[in-house]
Each structure stands twice: as C-alpha cells, then as structure tokens.
Structure 1
Amino acid sequence: MLAVRAYQVGARLAGGFLPLLLHRRAKAGREDPARIGERKASNMAPRPAGNLVWVHAASVGETRSVLPLLADFMATQPDTHILMTTGTRTSATLVGQLTRTGFPHIDRLTHQYLPLDRARWVKRFFDHWSPQLALFVESELWPNLLLEMRRRNIPAVLVNGRLSEKSFKFWRRAKNSARALFGCFDRLLAQDDITAQRWQELGLQDIMLAGNLKLDAPPLEADASALAQMQAALQNRPVWVAASTHPGEEAMIGACHEALRAMHPDLLCILVPRHPERGPEIAELLASKGETPPRRSAGTLPSEHDAFYIGDTLGEMGLYFRLGGLVFMGGSLVRHGGQNPLEAARLDNAILSGPHVGNFSAVYDMLAADDGVVRVSDAREMVDALDGLLRAPAKSQTLAENARACDARQGGARAHTLAVLNEL
C-alpha cells in the first residue's frame, strides 16, 4: 500500500493547484471550458431515477470498443440508465455524436467528464450519482476514485482489461498497492492471456479471460454521401492513408510521401491525426515543405493537384479506410505503442506499421503469423514497402485478405463480457 499512500499524500498536497491546472488545460484546448465544472464534480447533469450503471472509458479507443457492448447490455436491461464518463474532449465528442449515428437506447445514456482524482471531488461525484454498478474499460486506475468506490460497496468490473509490460513491471514492485487497487473490482476480465498471467503473478483473484472487445467490433461506419463525394473528388487516384498519427510522425510521413511521389506522381496521402485538433499544426508543417493541403474540417475536398489531404475530423475513420486500400497505422514510428489495426483490416486494407506497437502486440503478432501486416523499422523502409505494394496490387490484395481473415477468426469477447455483467 506504500505506493497508494504516497499517491494520496501527493494528491492532497496538489489539490489546491488542480483548478489552475484545469484552467491552463482549457486555455490550451485540452479541456472544454463550458464543462470544466464536471472535472470538479460540480455542474453535473441530474441523476436519472432508478438503476444506474457507471461506465468509464478514458479516451476514444476505449469508448469505441465498449459502445457495442453497452448497446447489447442496455437491450437486456431495459430499466437501466448508463452514466458514461470519459477523460478527453475527443471521446466526449464521439459520445455526443451517438444521436446522429443512431446509437440504440441513447435516451438512457448520459455523458459526463470524469472528475480529477481529488478526494473531495470524488466523494461529491459518488454522492450525486450513486451507481449500482461500475465498469472500467481497459487500464485506467485512479486510486482515490477506486478506493472510495470500494468503501461504498459498489460492485465493479474491469472489462477488456489490459496490463502492459511497463505497468506490470511497476506493479510487480508494488504488489500490495496492486492488490489494493485491483481488489476494488469484483471481476477482472482480461483481454488476452498475457494480461491474465500478469494479474495472476501479482496475486490477484477473480480473473477471467474474456477476450478483446476491440477484436469483436463491427466495421467502422461511413456516411454514404460523404463517401460518394470523396470518391468523385479522387477520380481513381492511388491513395494511401496514414491513420491515427502522433507528433513526430507527420514529418517522417511527409518525407516518405515525397519520395513516393517521385515514383508515383499521382499518389495522394490522406493524413489523419489521432487528435483532430492538431490539423492546423500539421498543415503548417506541410506548408513549410511547400505544400498547401486542404483540411477536412474546413469542408474542402482534395483536388487533383494536392499531394496531401488532412483528415482532421472525429468519427470519420470509416470514411478514410474505404478510400485507399493501403493504410499505415500511426503511433508506431514513434514510441507511442501503436493503434488498433483491425479497424483497417475489417475494411479490406493492406496494413503497414512501424516497430512500436506494444499496446497492441498480441494483435500484431496474430496478423504477422497470418501474413496480414507489413512491419517496417523506419520511414525509409516504409517507402520501399509502399512502393512495392503500389506496384503489385495483387500482393496488396492478398495482404488485405489475410488481415481480414485473421480478424474474422477473433470474436466472442462481447458475448462473454455481457454474460458476466448480466450475472451481477
């Protein structure tokens, strides 16, 4: 418990500075100024009457993975209301779009930002919402929040649980704290064998291998009208998509594309940053190289003369994945840990990735075993790999078919998880 106690002391000492931190984050665009009160457990929406299940998904990836499960769960629990908390503006925007995208039972879902982990704010959050069940998605653990939840005897499940190698090494040095925090959950549902084994080595109990919700999701959707407009604008140009890129990658992708254009003059790169608000920053970077890329957020379409198109919108990855057939998954040329490649696989894309995929290592290992992904070590190798696939469409199609077949063999996580939830 030493690590947890040290955290709590630090949180108390830092508590007075948290409002200033929120103010600065809002000025930087990282918090929604109109909803800053929710981060302090104030200005909260009214609590609906009756049974309330609280679901916390830290960011966009976790939110996307859990939404199909929530749709199934709400169908089996018609009297239950869902409180969904997230921690980022992009994930809040994604939840806000559910009405437009036709999410079922949306009238029984309320979104709030998760309060920061200050003891008094955490207590105020629970006093207001008083959930009958709590679900945490993947790996985000806030000590004050979890311990207060346990103190109030709120049943809790960690769904789609994941324990990275880095986190495992930390918790192995602080086993008592690990048992205290993970022990706040009545069930630990692991997304893979590695996580289950690591939890067991930490001495945790109530572990179940349920599978990965991200491997059990439907294909990303795309607006039919927007897709038709983009396809008309592209006029059958060759396209590759750099998806979910992170700072430091765009410069490498720009250099890679410049080299490719020398061999494929008509080639277009659709560059989709993980965080859409970085669109202006990326446009400025490319402008310094003599490019004037149109941006999706401005409502513009790529012209025949554009070398780049910046997809700086949220919730349109399904559109971009239907355009090119060649996708590089970002977060992998820099040490971010990669992004989920199966969203691209489900839409018949040949997939490329850099070396840094620790957050999805099991998924990439499966794809590699089925010849469903090309791994490159740097931008120079990516030029060679993309050039080879552009020159050999049959090879690209085989790569895409292998990836889709690999994805099709996964599944069942949603049903297994739903069965556990309905038992509680």
Structure 2
Amino acid sequence: MFFYNLGLRIYAWLIRLAGLRMPKARLWTEGRRGLFKRMKQAIDPDARIVWLHAASLGEFEQGRPILEQLRREHPEYKILLTFFSPSGYEIRKNYKGADYIFYLPIDTPRNARRFLDIAHPEIAVFVKYEFWLNLLKELRRRKVRTYVVSAIFRPDSIFFRPYGGMWRQALEAFDAMFVQNEESKRLLGELGFDNTVVAGDTRFDRVAEIARAARKIDVVERFKGDKRLFVAGSTWGPDEELLIRLMNDNPDVKFLIAPHEMEEGRIARLMEQTRGGALRYTACTPSTGYGSKQLLILDTVGLLSSVYGYAAWGYIGGGFGVGIHNTLEAATFGLPIAFGPNYQKFKEARDLATLSAACPVENYDQLLAWFIPLRDNPSFLQKTSRIARDYTTSHQGATALILRTIFQ
C-alpha cells in the first residue's frame, strides 16, 4: 500500500502542476478545494444515504438508470453522486436525480476516513471500475454494503497478475459484484469469489429510456424533408474524410454530422468540401430555407441521441483513434451502423458486428460497400434494422436485477 499511496500523492501533485496550463487539470484541483467543508454543510447527518461513484460521464450514464429507479422505488434514501473526472462532474453537477453531487477526494487513508465520516452511506455503488483501495478497505471495516455494477474483468487485469494481491484483497469489500458477462464471473470464480451476478450492462436500460424520451427536433425535421437521413455521431478528422466522400457520392441522401469536438477548422472543412451544401445547426432559424442543402452539422450538445431517431443509417466516430464512441444510442433506434477499425474493446460493437448489424471499415471502399446494399435494398435495410433493435431490447433488465438483489 505504501507505493499505492505514494503514487496517488505524486499524481495529485502532477495534476496541480498541469493545472497551471491545462483547464481540465485546473478544474480537477479547484473542484476538490474545500471539498470536505462543502460536503459537511450540504449532507444531512441524519439522512439515509446511497452513494454512487462514477469515474466520468460514460460511467454516469451507466449508473443513471440505477439512480432514477432507486429514486422512484426508495424515496426514503438520499442519493450522493461523486465523480473523479471533470468531464463528468462539470457536465452533471446540476443533475436533478441526486441530492448531493461532489468530486471524489484523492484516495489517501485520511481522505477515505473523512469522506465516509461525512457521507455516512448505508450503501455504496461503484460503476464499472475505479477500485480505490483505501476507500474499499474503509467501507469494509465499517461494514457498509458495497457493490460494483456493469463490471468487466479481463485475464490481463491487475487482479489476475502475480503482483495483484492487494487488488484482489480489495474485491473482498464487495457484497456482490454485478458483471457484464460470463467470462468475468469465471475469472472471479478462479480467484475464489462466488458473489458475482451476471446482470449485463445497465447502458442498455439507459439507451431504452433515451429512445422513449426522444425529442422532436424541428430543425432536423425540416432539413430532412422527404429524404432519407444518414447520421454520423461523435466524429473525428479521419471519420470525416470518409464521410465527405460518401456524401459527395450520394447526392440524394441527406447527412447530419455531429463532430466530437467543435473545432472551427474541421467544421469549416465540412462546409467547404460538401458539394451539396452545408448548414450549421446553430445558424438555423425558423426562417431558414434548407432547399437542396445536403449536410447539417450538429454544432451543439445534448441532441444527438434524439437525432438518431430520424435516421436510416448511422456511423459512429472514434474508430480510427483510441476507440469508437457510443454505438447503443444508434442501435436502439434500429440503425445499421459502421465505424472505424478500433472497436474490439467494446463488447456491444463486437456483438453487433457478429450479427451483421454493424460493420467495421478501414477505408472508403469498405464503407461504400457496406452502404450501397443498405441504400438500395429496402428489405435488406429493414432486416438489418430489426437485428440491431432486437439486440438492444434483448439485453435490457440489468437495472431491475441489480436493485432487486441489493434491496432483497
């Protein structure tokens, strides 16, 4: 534990140093300044607390169905939500589904004690990963019911290494571990853990909720008109190179592209190189005439999940970089989807590719070869759409199983 604690102190020092130049690092540091004082002022010492920790925004979306069903079924509890990363906290710090929202302090022994003294949770839930050793040790010492949900364990994880003893010991803090697949259960069983439940991934429940709550978006409706729409979400430069060619080769199809980052240079390039003409979403007004414009650039956040509901096909960005973004939001609407070659870390993407509801592509020729049959054969498009939709539907139910087990 000495080297673990030392490493965390060095990490925190480096983040503070990086904050001199990097805004995200500065938010990480400033968000923790005066944390315990603010927690003590906000948290009712007599309240019954369920604490859920999410590393960042993606983990929050996985945990969100649990929070919202917990709120409906167990109003006797107050909900404490914590984040490690600014990309989660800064976006969701005003989330109405939790009573208290804070950054998680750096995991030193003293911070773990102070945090739990103030938070006094009856139940602690960690989403997917982030196994903080001091916090887990202190939760176990205090006999707080503790769970991890939507977890995935792989053979190369530190838990299964010869030097992973203290990490294996940390898992003993969990009353139950809700894992996504049978492999995770098998691996944990080999370590002697028999408190695992294959519950699946709560993201399937989340995207189902998103689809049911999808908004009507007037700008998209008017832009689409009576044409078919191709939606590309969370795109990066290499994705957009392929999409520009696809647009220019398919002038009768409307396209909507939602860049992952709103870089003006990339947006300008899309505007300039789309032969059919392009519009920015934020520049559209009730009097905008869409005419024959072929591309709408979604240069705002919070709408993409609803936009998929207007599409016939989808493309998910990131596959030419560190990894693809969320495929389930598109698949839940029954969209056949394509993405770049770096997708193997994502089980749902592998599953959809195996079912032929999704297609990894390495170049433009492969993207075009995937798209043309779906464009020209309505029955093939309908069949592929049904496979994608059925896949997401069949994997729902993790949230109910988790809460039923926790509160049985």
TM-score range, shorter chain: 0.7 to 0.9
Counterpart of 1:285, as a letter, is R
Name the % identity: 24
Secondary structure of residue in 2 paired with 1:322: helix
Shift of residue 162, structure 1, vs aligned partner = 1.5
Q: CA RMSD in A?
A: 3.3
Map of 1:78 onto structure 2: 75
Provide closer, same or farther for how the CA distance between residues 97 and 320 of structure 1 changes in structure 2, counting only shifts above 3 A: farther
Shift of residue 346, structure 1, vs aligned partner = 1.8
Provide closer, same or farther for how the CA distance between residues 237 and 330 of structure 1 changes in structure 2, counting only shifts above 3 A: same
2:307 to 320, 335, 342: 320
Offset from partner CA, 1:53-73 (integer Å, 9 cap, x none): 110122222222222222222
1:180 to 152, 169, 176: 169
Q: Which moved more, 1:375-384 or 1:251-260?
A: 375-384
Offset from partner CA, 1:330-378 (integer Å, 9 cap, x none): 3333332x344332222121222333223322x2344344432223234
Shift of residue 325, structure 1, vs aligned partner = 1.9
Map of 1:374 onto structure 2: 359
Secondary structure of residue in 2 paired with 1:132: strand
2:220 counterpart of 1:230: yes
Unpaired segments ≥5 residues, structure 2:
none
CA distance in 2 between counterparts of 1:404 and 1:285 reads 32
CA distance in 1 between counterparts of 2:199 and 2:128 reads 12
Shift of residue 86, structure 1, vs aligned partner = 2.1
Shift of residue 312, structure 1, vs aligned partner = 4.4
Counterpart of 1:422, as a letter, is F
CA distance in 1 between counterparts of 2:14 and 2:101 reads 26
Secondary structure of residue in 2 paired with 1:359: coil
Counterpart of 2:32, as a letter, is G
Unpaired segments ≥5 residues, structure 1:
100-105
2:316 counterpart of 1:329: yes
Map of 2:125 onto structure 1: 135
Map of 2:8 onto structure 1: 11
Secondary structure of residue in 2 paired with 1:31: helix
Shift of residue 219, structure 1, vs aligned partner = 4.0
Map of 1:37 onto structure 2: 32
Counterpart of 1:161, as a letter, is A
Offset from partner CA, 1:93-114 (integer Å, 9 cap, x none): 6545654xxxxxx4x6322222
Secondary structure of residue in 2 paired with 1:84: strand
2:61 counterpart of 1:64: yes
Map of 1:212 onto structure 2: 201
CA distance in 2 between counterparts of 1:325 and 1:97 reads 34
Secondary structure of residue in 2 paired with 1:333: coil
Provide closer, same or farther for how the CA distance between residues 116 and 236 of structure 1 changes in structure 2, counting only shifts above 3 A: farther
Counterpart of 1:65, as a letter, is Q
CA distance in 1 between counterparts of 2:170 and 2:289 reads 50
Provide closer, same or farther for how the CA distance between residues 59 and 397 of structure 1 changes in structure 2, counting only shifts above 3 A: farther
Provide closer, same or farther for how the CA distance between residues 109 and 323 of structure 1 changes in structure 2, counting only shifts above 3 A: same
Contact 1:329 1:351 in 2 (8 A): yes
Alignment of 1:272-283 (within 5 A): 272-274=258-260, 278-279=261-262, 281=263, 283=264
CA distance in 1 between counterparts of 2:281 and 2:105 reads 32
Q: TM-score, normalised by structure 1?
A: 0.81
Shift of residue 32, structure 1, vs aligned partner = 7.3
Map of 2:231 onto structure 1: 241
Counterpart of 1:75, as a letter, is R
Secondary structure of residue in 2 paired with 1:328: strand
Q: TM-score, normalised by structure 2?
A: 0.84
CA distance in 1 between counterparts of 2:19 and 2:38 reads 15
Offset from partner CA, 1:179-199 (integer Å, 9 cap, x none): 122222221111111221222
Contact 1:39 1:116 in 2 (8 A): no
1:265 to 241, 244, 251: 251
Map of 1:54 onto structure 2: 51
